[in-house]
Chain A
Amino acid sequence: MKIYLKALSMHLKSELEYRVSFLLSFLSQIFIFFSYYFVILSLFTKFSHIRGFTLWEVLLCFSIIQFGFSFNEVFARGIDRFDRLIIKGDFDILLVRPKNILLQVLCSDSDFIKVSRVIQAVIVLILSLFHLKIEWNIFKIMTLLLMLLASCIIFFGIFLMAASYCFYTIQGLEVRNVFTDGGKYMAQYPIGIFQKGFVLFFTFIIPYAFVNYYPLLYLLGKKDSFLYGFSPLIVFLYLIPCISMFYVGIKRYTSVGS
């Protein structure tokens, strides 16, 4: 943990060396972020609800997903950009060091410009909680925190899985975008609005539904069972295959040389 923090602060320092460029990119992120919300906002000027979910409920759902995704973009950038390590052959350097590999990959890169997205996600989250009349109790607060945590975990898992794939293909794959960007796009809506097959796939194969659908139902008071409230815990199980896939990948790894 100490090493990781040290690496983070080094990346931050190096990014801040170019102060103007950092600031400009930080601002431009705000614009880009707005374009994500635009779809939802403009469609809700024409429609009043989507299968029973109102504007602020959808925004709540989306901000939780955005939070997890951008959180990983900042703090797990090394995994997101793993294909670079493999292509350039830099991964070999990590292998000879006497420290945990995954930790080293995490330390290898970070992107503090994306902090602006995390902040914006939090703002939207607070705004939508403010507009929604939720009857708060201790369990609901727990559910909300679990959702945020699960959102970070699931994208970490997906990034890791995509990274493990690089061991075989030696290149980043466009297909991974289906699961990261595509998944993010889809999960901005409560998953229940989609057709059955889709819902099943994103419940059991990639468990987005446990991040922002089943717990959301509990949070909004549409379902009363505690099972719904604590369902984000299932996402933690999802990490097991992801991490083991990564280590299987390392065993198969042959360097590209150079």
Chain B
Amino acid sequence: MKAYFTYFKLKFMSGLQYRSAAWAGIATQFFFGFVYVMVYIAFYESGEKQLPMNLHQVITYLWLNQAFFALVNQFHKDPELFQMVKDGTISYELVRPKNLYFMWYFKILGQRLSNVVMRFIPIIFVTSLLPYPYGMEGASNVYHFFLFLCSLMIGTLVVVALSVLYPIITLATMNEKGIVNVMLSIADILSGIVVPIPFFPLFLQKISKYLPFQYISDLPFRIYVGNVSFQFGIRGIFIQLFWFLILVFIGFSLMKRNIKRIVVQGG
């Protein structure tokens, strides 16, 4: 356990060195956030009745998306891991007497956490100072806030379990583009980062209920804005835990299978 934690710490600390990248990231997040917010404000002006979320809820949701983007986005591809698979450096990893799956898991977890730690505070701070209707609002109540924290933490574990799958698949396909990119773009849509789930067409809402993606960031953010009830949130957390275990199991056994078949070509 201690060895894995060291991997986590290594990635976490080295991630903190990239401060200029973090500032660039924050600028990007602000820009996208503003564009999204203005688009929704313009849409809400059309005066439709019976919308699944009200305007403040949507805007707070959008800013949360931007603030925690580095933590929950789908397109996190660690170039180091993919490189390792493609150029054969993975053979060094295989001689280490530790489980490769958990090594990779903690590496990605460390990276994601260090990326988000440098980004979310300025975004939340500035956006909560913005005037109505652009700014972000507080949680709907204290209980929802704590539920949000729990759910975000488990959501992080779920998304990392997903991100580890991609280099593992690459072990078999040797190409990190084709199928992996298709999976990434499906995950990206269904995670609610592009559009909050309540705005989906009905049939897609039904489909995504049975997939892990909406339990990463959509659930915690909707808990925060109070779009779902407390009971619903609790139930959601159990589903999150379920998906976490399933995904770790899939990744772990897939890794085992792919490593058996691995061929390292000299060098």
* Partner-B contacts on A (CB < 8 A): 21, 24-25, 27-28, 31-32, 34-35, 38-39, 42-43, 45-51, 173-175, 177-178, 182, 185-186, 189, 193-195, 198
Contact of A31 among B39, B45, B182, B204 (CB under 8 A): B182
B186 cross-chain contacts in A, Cβ below 8 A: 31, 35
Judge whether A42 and B200 touch: CB under 8 Å. yes
For A45, what are the chain B residues with a Cβ–Cβ distance below 8 Å? 199, 201
Interface membership of B24, Cβ < 8 A: yes
Q: A47-B46, A48-B48 are known contacts. Are A182 and B39 too (CB-CB below 8 A)?
A: no
Most buried by B among A46, A194, A195: A46
Pick the contact of B46: A25, A28, A49, A182 (CB < 8 A): A49
Asked if B179 lies at the interface with its beta carbon under 8 angstroms from chain A, I say: yes
Q: Mark B43-64, 1 if CB is under 8 A from A, else 0.
A: 1111010011000000000000
Given contacts A28-B182, A43-B43, A43-B199, contact A178 B35 (CB under 8 A): no
Main secondary structure of the interface of B (DSSP, over half): helix
Contact at B28–A175, with CB atoms within 8 Å? Answer: yes
Given contacts A35-B188, A38-B189, A43-B199, contact A25 B39 (CB under 8 A): no
Which listed residue (A32, A39, A49, A182) contacts B195, Cβ 8 A?
Answer: A39
Interface size on B, residues (CB 8 A): 35
User: Considering the chains assembled together, what is the distance between the CA atoms of A28 and B179 in angstroms?
Assistant: 7
Q: Which of A32, A46, A174, A185 lies in contact with B35, CB distance below 8 A?
A: A185
Query: What are 14 A-B contacts defined by CB distance under 8 Å?
Result: A25-B181, A28-B182, A32-B181, A38-B189, A38-B194, A42-B200, A46-B52, A47-B44, A48-B48, A49-B46, A51-B46, A174-B24, A182-B28, A189-B42
* A193 & B38 in contact (Cβ 8 Å cutoff): yes
Question: In the complex, how many angstroms separate the beta carbon of A157 from the nearest chain B beta carbon?
Answer: 19
Q: Of A27, A49, A198, which one neighbours B38 at CB under 8 angstroms?
A: A198
- Report A-chain residues with C-beta under 8 Å of the C-beta of B39: 50, 189, 193
Taken residue by residue from 173 to 191, chain B's Cβ proximity to chain A (1 for < 8 Å, 0 otherwise) reads as 0010111011001101100
Measured between beta carbons, the chain B residues less than 8 angstroms from A173 are 24
Residue numbers in B under 8 Å from A186 (CB-CB): 35
- Give every chain A residue within 8 A of B52 (Cβ-Cβ): 46
Contact B185 A31 (CB under 8 A): yes
A50 to B35, CA, bound (A): 14
B43 touches A182 (CB 8 A): no
> Do B46 and A193 have beta carbons less than 8 Å apart?
no
Give 10 A-B pairs besides A28-B178, A51-B46 with Cβ atoms closer than 8 angstroms.
A31-B182, A35-B189, A42-B199, A45-B201, A50-B43, A178-B27, A182-B28, A185-B35, A195-B38, A198-B34
Decide: A28 near B181, CB < 8 A? Known: A50-B43, A178-B27: yes
Most chain B C-beta atoms within 10 Å of own C-beta, residue among A28, A43, A193: A28
